[in-house]
Structure 1
Amino acid sequence: MTTTAIADNVIQLPRRQAAPIATDGHLADADLDRWANRLARLLLGRGATAGARIALAVDAATEAIVAEAAVRKIGAVPVAVADDEFVFGAYLGITTRSDRPELTDVVDWLVLDDRSTLQRYLVSSDAPLSTADLRAVS
Protein backbone atom coordinates (compact mmCIF):
# COMPACT_ATOMS: atom_id res chain seq x y z
CA MET A 1 0.00 0.00 0.00
CA THR A 2 1.39 3.40 -0.99
CA THR A 3 0.59 6.48 1.06
CA THR A 4 0.78 9.87 -0.61
CA ALA A 5 -0.77 12.05 2.08
CA ILE A 6 1.32 13.57 4.85
CA ALA A 7 0.69 11.97 8.22
CA ASP A 8 -1.31 14.20 10.54
CA ASN A 9 1.23 13.86 13.35
CA VAL A 10 4.17 15.28 11.32
CA ILE A 11 5.04 18.94 11.63
CA GLN A 12 6.22 20.38 8.34
CA LEU A 13 9.13 22.78 8.79
CA PRO A 14 10.07 25.42 6.26
CA ARG A 15 12.99 24.52 4.04
CA ARG A 16 16.33 25.75 5.32
CA GLN A 17 18.06 28.14 2.97
CA ALA A 18 21.81 28.11 2.27
CA ALA A 19 22.13 31.83 2.90
CA PRO A 20 20.26 34.13 5.23
CA ILE A 21 17.21 35.78 3.79
CA ALA A 22 17.68 39.52 3.70
CA THR A 23 14.61 41.42 2.52
CA ASP A 24 14.51 45.18 2.59
CA GLY A 25 17.61 45.19 4.81
CA HIS A 26 16.12 42.71 7.30
CA LEU A 27 17.65 39.34 8.10
CA ALA A 28 15.35 36.49 9.12
CA ASP A 29 15.75 35.87 12.86
CA ALA A 30 16.38 32.13 12.50
CA ASP A 31 19.07 32.72 9.88
CA LEU A 32 20.71 35.45 11.94
CA ASP A 33 20.78 33.13 14.94
CA ARG A 34 22.36 30.24 13.02
CA TRP A 35 24.98 32.44 11.33
CA ALA A 36 25.84 34.14 14.62
CA ASN A 37 26.22 30.77 16.37
CA ARG A 38 28.76 29.68 13.76
CA LEU A 39 30.72 32.92 14.01
CA ALA A 40 30.59 32.86 17.81
CA ARG A 41 32.22 29.41 17.74
CA LEU A 42 35.03 30.77 15.56
CA LEU A 43 35.56 33.62 18.01
CA LEU A 44 35.62 31.24 20.97
CA GLY A 45 38.16 29.14 19.09
CA ARG A 46 40.39 32.20 18.82
CA GLY A 47 40.22 32.82 22.55
CA ALA A 48 37.36 35.34 22.83
CA THR A 49 35.85 35.49 26.30
CA ALA A 50 32.90 37.13 28.01
CA GLY A 51 33.64 40.78 28.71
CA ALA A 52 36.34 41.01 26.03
CA ARG A 53 36.24 44.00 23.70
CA ILE A 54 36.04 42.79 20.10
CA ALA A 55 36.63 45.29 17.32
CA LEU A 56 34.20 45.30 14.39
CA ALA A 57 35.41 46.70 11.08
CA VAL A 58 32.72 45.34 8.76
CA ASP A 59 30.99 47.54 6.20
CA ALA A 60 28.48 45.13 4.65
CA ALA A 61 25.18 45.39 6.53
CA THR A 62 24.37 41.67 6.78
CA GLU A 63 27.87 40.72 7.90
CA ALA A 64 27.94 43.56 10.43
CA ILE A 65 24.65 42.42 11.96
CA VAL A 66 25.84 38.81 12.20
CA ALA A 67 29.23 39.87 13.64
CA GLU A 68 27.65 42.00 16.36
CA ALA A 69 25.18 39.24 17.26
CA ALA A 70 28.00 36.68 17.49
CA VAL A 71 30.03 38.92 19.78
CA ARG A 72 27.05 39.50 22.05
CA LYS A 73 26.24 35.76 22.17
CA ILE A 74 29.53 35.05 23.90
CA GLY A 75 29.08 37.96 26.30
CA ALA A 76 31.79 40.07 24.70
CA VAL A 77 31.52 43.77 23.88
CA PRO A 78 31.37 44.80 20.20
CA VAL A 79 33.34 47.97 19.47
CA ALA A 80 32.93 49.72 16.11
CA VAL A 81 36.11 50.73 14.32
CA ALA A 82 36.19 53.73 11.99
CA ASP A 83 38.89 53.47 9.28
CA ASP A 84 42.32 53.03 10.92
CA GLU A 85 41.15 53.91 14.43
CA PHE A 86 42.83 51.77 17.09
CA VAL A 87 40.35 50.40 19.58
CA PHE A 88 41.78 50.47 23.08
CA GLY A 89 41.56 47.13 24.84
CA ALA A 90 40.49 45.06 21.82
CA TYR A 91 42.81 42.15 21.14
CA LEU A 92 40.49 40.45 18.64
CA GLY A 93 38.49 41.86 15.75
CA ILE A 94 36.27 40.96 12.82
CA THR A 95 36.74 42.46 9.36
CA THR A 96 36.80 41.69 5.64
CA ARG A 97 39.66 41.51 3.12
CA SER A 98 38.80 44.91 1.67
CA ASP A 99 39.05 46.63 5.06
CA ARG A 100 42.00 44.68 6.49
CA PRO A 101 44.87 46.70 4.87
CA GLU A 102 43.82 49.89 6.69
CA LEU A 103 43.61 48.28 10.13
CA THR A 104 46.18 47.99 12.88
CA ASP A 105 48.22 44.82 13.35
CA VAL A 106 47.86 45.10 17.13
CA VAL A 107 44.46 43.39 16.86
CA ASP A 108 44.13 39.73 15.80
CA TRP A 109 41.69 40.11 12.89
CA LEU A 110 39.28 37.36 11.88
CA VAL A 111 38.78 38.07 8.16
CA LEU A 112 35.27 36.93 7.28
CA ASP A 113 35.79 36.46 3.55
CA ASP A 114 39.18 34.77 3.85
CA ARG A 115 39.15 31.24 2.42
CA SER A 116 40.37 29.57 5.61
CA THR A 117 37.80 31.45 7.71
CA LEU A 118 35.00 30.45 5.33
CA GLN A 119 36.07 26.81 5.43
CA ARG A 120 36.05 26.76 9.25
CA TYR A 121 32.79 28.70 9.32
CA LEU A 122 31.00 26.32 6.99
CA VAL A 123 31.91 23.21 9.01
CA SER A 124 31.16 24.69 12.42
CA SER A 125 27.87 23.97 14.13
CA ASP A 126 24.99 26.41 13.91
CA ALA A 127 23.36 24.92 17.01
CA PRO A 128 22.72 27.25 19.94
CA LEU A 129 25.74 27.85 22.16
CA SER A 130 25.69 25.82 25.32
CA THR A 131 27.07 26.66 28.73
CA ALA A 132 29.79 24.10 28.00
CA ASP A 133 30.74 25.96 24.80
CA LEU A 134 31.14 29.16 26.76
CA ARG A 135 33.01 27.53 29.65
CA ALA A 136 35.49 25.79 27.35
CA VAL A 137 37.44 29.04 26.96
CA SER A 138 37.07 30.37 30.49
Structure 2
Amino acid sequence: MSTLVETPATNVIQLQPRLRNAAELEQAAVLGNSGKLANVELDRWANRLARVLIARGAAGHARIALAIDPQIEATVATSAVVKLGAIPASVAQDATAAPGARLGITTKERRPELSDAIDWLLLDDRSTLQRYLVSSDAPITAAERLTERKSA
Protein backbone atom coordinates (compact mmCIF):
# COMPACT_ATOMS: atom_id res chain seq x y z
CA MET A 1 0.00 0.00 0.00
CA SER A 2 1.35 3.41 -0.96
CA THR A 3 1.49 6.15 1.61
CA LEU A 4 2.45 8.98 -0.73
CA VAL A 5 1.94 12.34 0.92
CA GLU A 6 1.97 15.42 -1.23
CA THR A 7 3.01 18.60 0.51
CA PRO A 8 4.38 21.81 -0.94
CA ALA A 9 8.18 21.75 -1.02
CA THR A 10 9.72 24.67 0.82
CA ASN A 11 13.30 23.85 -0.09
CA VAL A 12 13.11 24.11 -3.89
CA ILE A 13 15.12 26.72 -5.74
CA GLN A 14 16.17 27.30 -9.35
CA LEU A 15 19.56 25.91 -10.31
CA GLN A 16 22.11 28.64 -10.77
CA PRO A 17 23.92 28.71 -14.16
CA ARG A 18 27.25 27.78 -12.51
CA LEU A 19 27.89 26.67 -8.94
CA ARG A 20 31.12 28.19 -7.67
CA ASN A 21 31.84 26.01 -4.64
CA ALA A 22 30.65 23.12 -2.48
CA ALA A 23 28.58 25.43 -0.25
CA GLU A 24 26.58 26.65 -3.24
CA LEU A 25 26.21 23.06 -4.42
CA GLU A 26 24.73 22.01 -1.09
CA GLN A 27 22.23 24.87 -1.38
CA ALA A 28 21.22 23.96 -4.94
CA ALA A 29 17.81 22.39 -5.31
CA VAL A 30 15.68 20.98 -8.14
CA LEU A 31 12.43 19.05 -8.96
CA GLY A 32 11.47 17.09 -12.11
CA ASN A 33 12.15 18.19 -15.69
CA SER A 34 11.62 21.86 -14.88
CA GLY A 35 15.28 22.43 -14.06
CA LYS A 36 14.59 22.17 -10.33
CA LEU A 37 15.49 19.52 -7.76
CA ALA A 38 14.63 19.49 -4.07
CA ASN A 39 17.64 19.33 -1.73
CA VAL A 40 16.45 15.95 -0.45
CA GLU A 41 16.29 14.58 -4.01
CA LEU A 42 19.72 15.98 -4.88
CA ASP A 43 21.06 14.25 -1.79
CA ARG A 44 19.44 10.91 -2.69
CA TRP A 45 20.60 11.00 -6.30
CA ALA A 46 24.13 11.96 -5.25
CA ASN A 47 24.24 9.11 -2.70
CA ARG A 48 23.28 6.61 -5.41
CA LEU A 49 25.87 7.94 -7.82
CA ALA A 50 28.52 8.02 -5.08
CA ARG A 51 27.93 4.31 -4.49
CA VAL A 52 28.32 3.59 -8.21
CA LEU A 53 31.61 5.52 -8.09
CA ILE A 54 32.76 3.57 -5.01
CA ALA A 55 32.04 0.31 -6.83
CA ARG A 56 34.07 1.66 -9.75
CA GLY A 57 37.07 2.35 -7.51
CA ALA A 58 36.65 6.01 -6.61
CA ALA A 59 38.64 7.13 -3.60
CA GLY A 60 38.67 10.16 -1.35
CA HIS A 61 41.11 12.93 -2.26
CA ALA A 62 41.30 11.62 -5.86
CA ARG A 63 40.51 13.92 -8.77
CA ILE A 64 37.42 12.82 -10.69
CA ALA A 65 36.91 14.39 -14.10
CA LEU A 66 33.45 15.75 -14.95
CA ALA A 67 32.50 16.25 -18.60
CA ILE A 68 28.75 16.69 -18.28
CA ASP A 69 26.64 19.30 -20.02
CA PRO A 70 23.10 18.89 -18.61
CA GLN A 71 23.02 21.11 -15.49
CA ILE A 72 21.07 18.71 -13.26
CA GLU A 73 23.35 15.76 -14.04
CA ALA A 74 26.43 17.94 -13.52
CA THR A 75 25.10 19.11 -10.15
CA VAL A 76 24.34 15.56 -8.99
CA ALA A 77 27.74 14.30 -10.18
CA THR A 78 29.59 17.12 -8.43
CA SER A 79 27.68 16.45 -5.22
CA ALA A 80 28.45 12.71 -5.44
CA VAL A 81 32.16 13.39 -5.88
CA VAL A 82 32.19 15.79 -2.93
CA LYS A 83 30.36 13.21 -0.76
CA LEU A 84 33.25 10.81 -1.38
CA GLY A 85 35.78 13.37 -0.29
CA ALA A 86 37.14 13.43 -3.83
CA ILE A 87 37.88 16.51 -5.94
CA PRO A 88 35.62 17.32 -8.91
CA ALA A 89 37.66 18.44 -11.92
CA SER A 90 35.63 19.99 -14.73
CA VAL A 91 36.67 19.20 -18.27
CA ALA A 92 36.20 22.27 -20.47
CA GLN A 93 34.53 21.98 -23.86
CA ASP A 94 37.89 22.34 -25.63
CA ALA A 95 39.82 19.99 -23.30
CA THR A 96 40.06 16.21 -23.55
CA ALA A 97 41.00 15.37 -19.96
CA ALA A 98 41.52 16.69 -16.45
CA PRO A 99 45.14 16.46 -15.27
CA GLY A 100 45.57 13.91 -12.47
CA ALA A 101 42.15 12.28 -12.94
CA ARG A 102 41.98 8.54 -13.54
CA LEU A 103 38.19 8.28 -13.25
CA GLY A 104 35.60 10.51 -14.88
CA ILE A 105 31.88 10.99 -15.42
CA THR A 106 30.40 11.95 -18.78
CA THR A 107 27.64 11.17 -21.28
CA LYS A 108 27.62 9.22 -24.54
CA GLU A 109 27.50 12.48 -26.49
CA ARG A 110 30.69 13.87 -24.93
CA ARG A 111 32.66 10.58 -24.72
CA PRO A 112 34.14 10.56 -28.26
CA GLU A 113 35.95 13.87 -27.66
CA LEU A 114 37.53 12.75 -24.37
CA SER A 115 40.85 11.12 -23.51
CA ASP A 116 41.11 7.33 -23.25
CA ALA A 117 43.55 7.79 -20.35
CA ILE A 118 40.54 8.23 -18.04
CA ASP A 119 38.09 5.47 -17.06
CA TRP A 120 34.82 7.21 -18.04
CA LEU A 121 31.53 6.36 -16.36
CA LEU A 122 28.77 7.04 -18.91
CA LEU A 123 25.76 8.42 -17.06
CA ASP A 124 23.34 7.61 -19.88
CA ASP A 125 24.60 4.07 -20.48
CA ARG A 126 22.02 1.36 -19.74
CA SER A 127 24.30 -0.61 -17.39
CA THR A 128 25.16 2.56 -15.44
CA LEU A 129 21.49 3.43 -15.12
CA GLN A 130 20.68 -0.07 -13.87
CA ARG A 131 23.44 0.06 -11.23
CA TYR A 132 22.39 3.57 -10.28
CA LEU A 133 18.72 2.68 -9.84
CA VAL A 134 19.43 -0.29 -7.55
CA SER A 135 21.97 1.58 -5.40
CA SER A 136 20.92 2.73 -1.97
CA ASP A 137 20.05 6.38 -1.53
CA ALA A 138 20.94 6.28 2.17
CA PRO A 139 23.64 8.73 3.27
CA ILE A 140 27.22 7.75 2.49
CA THR A 141 28.86 6.69 5.74
CA ALA A 142 32.36 7.39 6.95
CA ALA A 143 32.95 3.62 6.88
CA GLU A 144 32.11 3.50 3.16
CA ARG A 145 34.53 6.33 2.44
CA LEU A 146 37.19 4.77 4.68
CA THR A 147 36.73 1.31 3.10
CA GLU A 148 37.20 2.80 -0.35
CA ARG A 149 40.37 4.67 0.61
CA LYS A 150 41.90 1.51 2.03
CA SER A 151 41.09 -0.54 -1.08
CA ALA A 152 42.10 2.12 -3.60
Shorter-chain TM-score bucket reads 0.7 to 0.9
Partner of 1:103: 114
Letter in 2 for 1:125: S
Unaligned ranges ≥5, structure 2: 7-29
Letter in 2 for 1:21: L
Partner of 1:48: 58
Unaligned ranges ≥5, structure 1: 1-11
The separation in 1 between residues aligned to 2:5 and 2:63, in whole angstroms, is 37
Identity of aligned residues (%): 57
Listed one character per residue, the Cα deviations across residues 39-59 of structure 1 (whole Å, up to 9, x for unaligned) are 000111111111100000000
Partner of 2:135: 124
**Deviant stretches of 4+, over 3 Å:** 12-15, 22-26
- Pairing partner for 2:85 from 57, 75, 91: 75
SS in 1 for 2:136: coil
What's the TM-score, normalizing by structure 1?
0.82
Partner of 1:87: 98
Letter in 1 for 2:43: D
The separation in 2 between residues aligned to 1:57 and 1:134, in whole angstroms, is 23
SS in 1 for 2:148: coil
The separation in 1 between residues aligned to 2:129 and 2:58, in whole angstroms, is 18
Partner of 1:4: none
On the 8 A contact 2:96/2:113 being kept in 1, the answer is: no
Question: Greater relative contact order (Cα 8 A, min sep 6): structure 1 or 2?
Answer: 1
SS in 2 for 1:27: coil
The separation in 2 between residues aligned to 1:37 and 1:50, in whole angstroms, is 15
Listed one character per residue, the Cα deviations across residues 21-79 of structure 1 (whole Å, up to 9, x for unaligned) are 14763321000000000000011111111110000000001000000000000000001
Letter in 2 for 1:78: P
- Pairing partner for 1:114 from 109, 125, 145: 125
